[in-house]
Amino acid sequence: MELLRIVVNIIEIILIVYFGIAAIYVFVFALAGLFPYRQKTTPNPQLRRFAVMIPGYKEDAVILEVATEALKQDYPVEKFDVVIIADSFKPETIAILKSLPIKLIEVIFDVSTKSKALNKAMNQLGNDYDIALVLDADNVMENDFISKINQAFENGFLVVQGHRVAKNTNTSFAVLDAMSEEINNHIFRKGHRVLGFSSALIGSGMAFDYKFFKSTMADVNAIGGFDKELELKLLKDRKKIEYLHEALVFDEKVQKSEVFEKQRKRWLSAQFVYFRRYFFTGLFHLFFKGNLDFFDKVYQMVSPPRILLIGLVTVFTAIYGIAFLLFPNTAFQAVTFTSWAIVFAITVLAFIFSLPVKFYNKTTLLAVLSLPKAFILMFLSLFKLKGANKKFIHTEHGTANNTKPN
Q: Model confidence at 378, in pLDDT bands (50, 70, 90)? A: confident
Reported as a single tens digit per residue, the pLDDT across 3-59 is: 887 888 889 999 999 999 999 999 999 999 999 998 888 888 899 999 999 999 989
Instruction: Assess whether 293 and 349 both reside in one domain.
Output: yes
Is 44 a member of any domain? no
**For position 96, which CATH number holds?**
3.90.550.10
> Rounded to an integer, what distance in angstroms lies between the CA atom of residue 205 and that of residue 161?
6
Domain count, the chain: 2
346 or 380, which is more confident? 346
User: Residue 386 above 70 pLDDT?
Assistant: no
Does pTM top 0.95 for this prediction? no
What is the structure's pLDDT at 397? 63
Is 396 a member of any domain? no
Percentage of the chain exceeding pLDDT 90: 60
Is 4 a member of any domain? no
Give the Å distances, CA to CA, from 54 to 70, 165, 247. 10, 17, 18
Q: What is the mean pLDDT of the chain?
A: 88
What is the structure's pLDDT at 222? 66
Last residue of a domain, one of 233, 259, 285: 259
> What does the chain come to in residues?
406
User: Residue 241 above 70 pLDDT?
Assistant: yes
Is 395 a member of any domain? no
Q: Model confidence at 271, in pLDDT bands (50, 70, 90)? A: confident
Give the Å distances, CA to CA, from 156 to 41, 146, 201, 235. 12, 16, 18, 16
> Rounded to an integer, what distance in angstroms lies between the CA atom of residue 288 and that of residue 176?
41
Q: Model confidence at 272, in pLDDT bands (50, 70, 90)? A: confident
What is the structure's pLDDT at 380? 79
Domain containing 384 equals 12-34+270-390
- Name the least confident of 18-27, 133-142, 334-343, 364-373: 364-373
Specify whether the CB–CB gap between 52 and 83 falls below 8 A. Answer: yes
According to the 3-state scheme, what is the secondary structure of the chain?
Answer: CHHHHHHHHHHHHHHHHHHHHHHHHHHHHHHHCCCCCCCCCCCCCCCCCEEEEEEEECCCCCHHHHHHHHCCCCCCHHHEEEEEEEECCCHHHHHHHHCCCCEEEEECCCCCCHHHHHHHHHHHHCCCCCEEEECCCCCEECCCHHHHHHHHHHHCCCEEEEEEEECCCCCHHHHHHHHHHHHHHHHHHHHHHHCCCCCCCCCCCEEEEHHHHHHHHCCCCCCCCHHHHHHHHHHHCCCCEEEEEEEEEEECCCCCHHHHHHHHHHHHHHHHHHHHHHHHHHHHHHHHHCCHHHHHHHHHHHCCCHHHHHHHHHHHHHHHHHHHHHCCCCHHHHHHHHHHHHHHHHHHHHHHHHCCHHHCCHHHHHHHCCHHHHHHHHHHHCCCCCCHHHCCCCCCCCCCCCCCCC
Instruction: Assess whether 312 and 340 both reside in one domain.
Output: yes
Q: Model confidence at 403, in pLDDT bands (50, 70, 90)? A: very low
Instruction: Assess whether 351 and 287 both reside in one domain.
Output: yes
User: Residue 90 above 90 pLDDT?
Assistant: yes
Instruction: Assess whether 29 and 71 both reside in one domain.
Output: no
Instruction: Assess whether 152 and 25 both reside in one domain.
Output: no
83 or 222, which is more confident? 83
What is the structure's pLDDT at 343? 97
Is 2 a member of any domain? no
Is 400 a member of any domain? no
Specify whether the CB–CB gap between 171 and 372 falls below 8 A. Answer: no
> Rounded to an integer, what distance in angstroms lies between the CA atom of residue 14 and that of residue 5?
14
Reported as a single tens digit per residue, the pLDDT across 300-327 is: 988 998 889 999 999 999 999 988 888 7
Instruction: Assess whether 18 and 68 both reside in one domain.
Output: no
What is the structure's pLDDT at 5? 79
Reported as a single tens digit per residue, the pLDDT across 155-209 is: 989 999 999 999 988 888 889 889 999 999 999 999 999 999 999 999 899 999 9
Last residue of a domain, one of 259, 294, 325: 259
> Rounded to an integer, what distance in angstroms lies between the CA atom of residue 360 and that of residue 366?
11
Instruction: Assess whether 243 and 118 both reside in one domain.
Output: yes
Specify whether the CB–CB gap between 219 and 138 falls below 8 A. Answer: no
Specify whether the CB–CB gap between 19 and 343 falls below 8 A. Answer: yes
Instruction: Assess whether 73 and 176 both reside in one domain.
Output: yes
Instruction: Assess whether 137 and 227 both reside in one domain.
Output: yes
Instruction: Assess whether 84 and 180 both reside in one domain.
Output: yes
Last residue of a domain, one of 205, 236, 259: 259
| Residues 6 or more apart whose Cβ sits within 8 Å of residue 374 | 173, 176, 257, 260, 307
Instruction: Assess whether 126 and 213 both reside in one domain.
Output: yes
- Name the least confident of 92-101, 181-190, 212-221, 250-259: 250-259
Is 117 a member of any domain? yes
Q: Tell me the average pLDDT across 283-289.
A: 92
385 or 298, which is more confident? 298
User: Residue 210 above 90 pLDDT?
Assistant: yes
Instruction: Assess whether 209 and 134 both reside in one domain.
Output: yes
Is 41 a member of any domain? no
